[in-house]
């Protein structure tokens, strides 16, 4: 996709999501989600899992994306999730958006059946209904994107997620976005290196924001991480976690790719 057509990707996703969520509420009322067996499951802390590892990687299941079209349509999700688990991931991110990323809530459910690691529901969350879905399908943590939410909605969704026992990964793209976030809304702060207007990736975003985020929060660098040396540098700057999708998913066996990557992080 060209930079021009990507200019308003978050706006386009948000417009689509509003319609999608309204339809889903008609088909499956919120009260029924609360009856799902996993709804009462005790969650696992993504923050703790990342912090206890030398390099806490949240490895992502990602078939395709607006910036890359097809990344890997040939691997089975259970193989990816089991491979990531065996390789030493600190957590797993599952993209559940269908239209733009080719994911689904069924992917999250399958992932839950394949690992005890904390699972992040990677979704464009605008409505508390999506939090109920996340819990019902096995998530331990959810993503809130500062660029998509006003401060009041962000604070409200964060509180609701915590009441359901899930942690909040709050994603920011700039210092301005971070400063505008309500305090206390995040358990983990994700600094996204991908500019969602141009799709360009620059680790300078993580470098610039590192010192602005207090070390009481788990700092996660997201997107465009392809080299173990990048992780070593960002760890020195204070990052506890690293969200990585394409680098592993573009390989025939993403789990083996993560295993090799982690070996090189420590050498
Ligand atoms: O990846 C995209 O093209 C994208 C476009 C628009 C909104 C979000 C997008 N990605 C979501 C993510 O946050 C990444 O999948 C995640 O950080 C992993 O990134 P990468 O390691 O570069 O696959």
How many domains is the chain partitioned into structurally?
A: 1
For the stretch 93-128, pLDDT in tens is 999 999 999 999 999 999 999 999 999 999 999 999
Range of the domain at 105: 3-265
Verify whether residue 193 is a known catalytic residue: no
Question: 180 φ, ψ to 5°?
Answer: -85, -5
Return the CATH number at 205.
3.20.20.70
Estimate the crossing angle of helix 128-136 against helix 151-163, to 10 degrees: 30
- pLDDT at residue number 7: 52
For the stretch 176-212, pLDDT in tens is 999 999 999 999 999 999 988 888 999 999 999 999 9
Check if 62 has its Cβ closer than 6 Å to any atom of ligand 1.
Answer: yes
**C-alpha span between 134 and 123 (Å, rounded):** 9
Pocket test for ligand 1, best of 223, 230, 247, 254 (most atoms within 8 A of CB): 223
**C-alpha span between 181 and 175 (Å, rounded):** 10
Q: Considering the entire predicted model, what is its pTM?
A: 0.96
């Amino acid at each position: 996709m060209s930079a021009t057509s990507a200019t308003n990707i978050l706006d386009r996703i948000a417009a689509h999501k509003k319609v999608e969520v309204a339809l889903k509420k008609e088909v499956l009322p919120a009260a029924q989600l609360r009856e799902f067996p996993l709804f009462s499951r005790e969650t696992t802390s993504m923050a703790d899992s990342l912090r206890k590892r030398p390099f806490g990687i949240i490895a992502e299941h990602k078939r395709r994306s607006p910036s890359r079209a097809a990344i890997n349509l040939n691997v089975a999700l259970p193989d990816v999730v089991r491979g990531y688990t065996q390789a030493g991931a600190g957590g797993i991110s599952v993209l559940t958006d269908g239209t733009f990323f080719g994911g689904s809530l069924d992917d999250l459910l399958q992932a839950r059946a394949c690992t005890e690691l904390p699972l992040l529901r990677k979704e464009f969350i605008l409505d508390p209904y999506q939090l109920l879905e996340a819990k019902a399908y096995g998530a331990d943590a959810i993503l809130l994107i500062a660029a998509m939410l006003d401060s009041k909605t962000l604070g409200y969704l964060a509180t609701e997620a915590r009441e359901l026992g899930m942690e909040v990964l709050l994603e920011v793209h700039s210092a301005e976005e971070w400063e505008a976030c309500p305090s206390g809304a995040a358990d983990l702060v994700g600094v996204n290196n991908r500019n969602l207007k141009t799709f360009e990736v620059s680790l300078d975003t993580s470098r610039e924001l590192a010192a602005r985020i207090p070390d009481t929060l788990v700092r996660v660098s997201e997107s465009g991480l392809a080299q173990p040396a990048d992780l070593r540098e960002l760890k020195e700057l204070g990052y506890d976690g690293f969200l990585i999708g394409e680098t592993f998913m573009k390989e025939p066996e993403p789990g083996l790719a993560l295993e090799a990557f982690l070996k090189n992080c420590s050498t």
